[in-house]
Amino acid sequence: MTGGRYRDRVAVVTGASRGIGAAIAATLARQGAKVYCVYRSADTRFSALKDGLGEFGGNLFPVRIDLTEPNQIDEFFKQEDFCRGRLDILVNCAGGSADALLLRASAKRVREALALNLESAISCSRSALPYMLRARYGRIVNIGSVVASMGNAGQSLYCAAKAGLEGFTRSLAREVGSRGITINCVSPGFIETDMTAAMSEAQRGEVLKATAVGRLGSVEDVAWAVQFLCDEASSYVTGAVLHVNGGMYM
């Protein structure tokens, strides 16, 4: 997985300090891309990610902003020295499960769930597109979730946001496809992360029974799917939702 296929490419990955986002950032960096890693907290995790990449750690650059604040997103993308006017890849990975029964969810919690899981991706894409439109080239990959297709009790807010992300992906793909920009969505199933580590043995057993391959996915499984959608080999793929769920949903 090391090499230079993305040498001279510039990427932004949100939610990049841990889990799936960190794996995506690492994969792109190993391929030579200059990767801006957007996160809200956990400086120590970013440092560990950078150190773990060895010689490729120099391809990672931290960006600490709150993605629920559109003004902070705009300010970051409008920096005069940002990417020297270039941005090739945007991966919208930031998100949170926002578990809550709807009847017990406050209006504030509803707003926060939609802001982080849907609106942040829309704002980042809106800010990234001027760079891509000028270059007539770009790759935007949104990270969704299997529950957008399946539904899941206690996750109505999260499911709604991720389903909205799929619709956003398809619509934006139609808007900018003629300018050499592809917009796709990767929809992971249950992946070994901090989030799934909190599941009970009973919950984990139920997930494994429902998954055709009989295991949880790895963050690398998702990162490799994202890499494919960022490659030249996928230039005729846009508006797609790529399910990476081990056969949990077909």
Q: Which residues are tagged catalytic?
A: 158
Alpha-carbon dihedral of residues 148, 150, 155, 158, nearest 10 degrees?
0
Cα dist. 204→19, 194, 211 in Å?
Answer: 18, 13, 11
Q: Tell me how far apart the terminal alpha carbons of the chain are, to the nearest angstrom.
A: 28
DSSP 179-220: GTEEEEEEEE-SBSSHHHHTS-HHHHHHHHHH-TTSSPBPHH
- Pairing label, strands 34-39, 181-188: unpaired
Residue type, 41: S
> Would you state the structure tokens that stand for residue 6, as one six-digit string?
């993305």
Residue (of 38, 140, 50) closest to 88 by Cα position: 140
- Measured in residues, the chain has a length of 250
